[in-house]
């Protein structure tokens, strides 16, 4: 038997984050319609996280900027300041995170206006199959194989260079990685592992590359910065976001784009470019956060 205390404070905070996030995800999906603004839905969801936290008496905040990725975009699509883009007849991925005192939950849903319902279903069913398989001792490669098998069964490809991941304290991506295909490398899941499993299904080739848009960043290291705007931005980043991803639009400093460019040049922050399939392809995503238990797993974002 494991000596991991799944009632420990950190797990309770993971659960609090997950409960809030599950509600925000569902409400955000319902509010997402053709004509909805990228910035509108992002700010609504981020504000709703804080509102629900206050209602529940916990200090809940966005763990990263709301990702609004459409059609061939798989991840890291995000609204810019004064973004005037609106959702069209597209496949929309909403990827949202919550943290409570640095303990995280991460979830995603696809809202489809293209009519390609089987692609969305492939990602959803792959996630369900993976969750059914999870228990202590299961190899992460087996989970990946199950995801790949389900998506292949629909006639689509998994996105093989994106993975699920562990969730740490103030750390959105930790071990273990959960692949979306069969692999020999990896590790066995253990009681107490807190992980996000996120299948991506595509009608494309199954590998994403970096696009041009970049609106999400995170702290790489602290350093001495001479430029005033860059220094102000760094102070806010360290105080408010720590090592979690943040959006350019969250920065209070003037000329935030220039400030971030300077910080990137000094390797103080790094950016997250949009990750995308080939133009004309579609990508669907579904994601839950789980805690591995003695007899399976507990889904915190249901």
Catalytic member of 14, 72, 165, 288: 165
Q: Is 287 labeled as ligand-binding? A: yes
Q: Is 132 labeled as ligand-binding? A: no
* pLDDT level of residue 125 (50, 70, 90 thresholds): very high
Q: Is 71 labeled as ligand-binding? A: no
Q: Is 95 a catalytic site residue?
A: yes
Q: Is 95 labeled as ligand-binding? A: yes
- Res 2: pLDDT: 56
How far is residue 167's CA from residue 74's CA, in Å, rounded to a whole number? Answer: 20
The string of pLDDT tens digits covering residues 27-62 is 999 999 999 999 999 999 999 999 999 999 999 999
Catalytic member of 19, 46, 73, 95: 95
Q: Is 99 labeled as ligand-binding? A: no
What is the pLDDT averaged over residues 288-292? 98
Rounded to 10°, the helix 228-236/256-265 angle is: 90
Encode burial over 111-143: b for 16+ CB neighbours within 10 A, e otherwise.
bbebebeebbbbbbbbbebbbebbebebbbbbb
Catalytic member of 173, 220, 264, 270: 173
Q: Is 165 a catalytic site residue?
A: yes
Q: Is 152 a catalytic site residue?
A: no
Mean pLDDT of the chain: 97
Domain spans, the chain: 9-208+277-299, 215-275
Catalytic member of 19, 73, 277, 287: 287
Catalytic member of 124, 198, 215, 298: 198
Q: Is 128 a catalytic site residue?
A: no
* pLDDT level of residue 1 (50, 70, 90 thresholds): very low
Q: Is 83 a catalytic site residue?
A: no
Catalytic member of 19, 73, 106, 277: 106
Q: Is 287 a catalytic site residue?
A: yes
- Res 261: pLDDT: 97
CB neighbours of 133 closer than 8 A, spacing ≥ 6? 142, 143, 146
* pLDDT level of residue 153 (50, 70, 90 thresholds): very high
The string of pLDDT tens digits covering residues 238-285 is 999 999 999 999 999 989 999 999 999 999 999 999 999 999 999 999
Q: Is 270 labeled as ligand-binding? A: no
Encode burial over 218-249: b for 16+ CB neighbours within 10 A, e otherwise.
bbeeeeebeeebbbbbbebbeeebebbbbbbb
What is the pLDDT averaged over residues 145-162? 98
The string of pLDDT tens digits covering residues 78-117 is 999 999 999 999 999 999 999 999 999 999 999 999 999 9
The answer, yes or no, to whether residue 13 has pLDDT greater than 60, is yes
Q: Are 105 and 300 in contact (CB under 8 A)?
A: yes
- Res 3: pLDDT: 76
- Res 273: pLDDT: 98
Q: Is 106 labeled as ligand-binding? A: yes
What is the pLDDT averaged over residues 292-298? 97
Q: Do 215-275 and 9-208+277-299 fall under one CATH topology?
A: no
What is the pLDDT averaged over residues 74-79? 98
Domain 215-275 is of which CATH architecture?
A: Orthogonal Bundle (1.10)
Q: Can you name the CATH fold of 9-208+277-299?
A: Creatine Amidinohydrolase (3.90.230)
What is the pLDDT averaged over residues 160-176? 97
């Amino acid at each position: 038997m494991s000596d991991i205390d799944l009632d420990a404070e950190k797990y309770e905070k993971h659960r609090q984050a997950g409960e809030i996030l599950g509600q925000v995800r569902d409400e955000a999906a319902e509010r997402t319609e053709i004509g909805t603004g990228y910035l509108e839905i992002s700010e609504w969801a981020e504000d709703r996280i804080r509102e629900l936290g206050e209602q529940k008496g916990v200090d809940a905040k966005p763990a990263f900027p709301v990702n609004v990725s459409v059609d061939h975009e798989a991840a890291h699509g995000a609204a810019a300041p004064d973004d005037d883009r609106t959702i069209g007849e597209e496949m929309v991925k909403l990827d949202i995170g919550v943290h409570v005192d640095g303990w995280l939950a991460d979830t995603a849903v696809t809202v489809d206006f293209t009519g390609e319902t089987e692609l969305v279903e492939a990602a959803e069913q792959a996630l369900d199959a993976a969750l059914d398989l999870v228990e202590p001792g299961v190899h992460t490669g087996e989970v990946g194989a199950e995801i790949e098998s389900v998506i292949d069964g629909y006639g689509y490809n998994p996105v093989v260079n994106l993975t699920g991941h562990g969730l740490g304290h103030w750390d959105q991506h930790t071990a273990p990685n959960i692949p979306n295909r069969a692999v020999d490398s990896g590790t066995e899941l253990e009681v107490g592992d807190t992980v996000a499993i996120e299948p991506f299904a595509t009608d494309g080739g199954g590998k994403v590359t970096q696009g041009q848009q970049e609106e999400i960043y995170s702290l790489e290291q602290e350093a001495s910065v001479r430029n005033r705007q860059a220094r102000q931005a760094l102070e806010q980043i360290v105080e408010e976001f720590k090592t979690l991803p943040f959006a350019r639009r969250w920065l209070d400093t003037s000329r935030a784009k220039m400030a971030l460019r300077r910080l990137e040049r000094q390797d103080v922050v790094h950016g997250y470019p949009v990750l995308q399939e080939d133009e004309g392809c579609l990508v669907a995503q579904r994601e839950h956060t789980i805690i591995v238990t003695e007899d399976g797993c507990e889904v915190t974002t249901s």
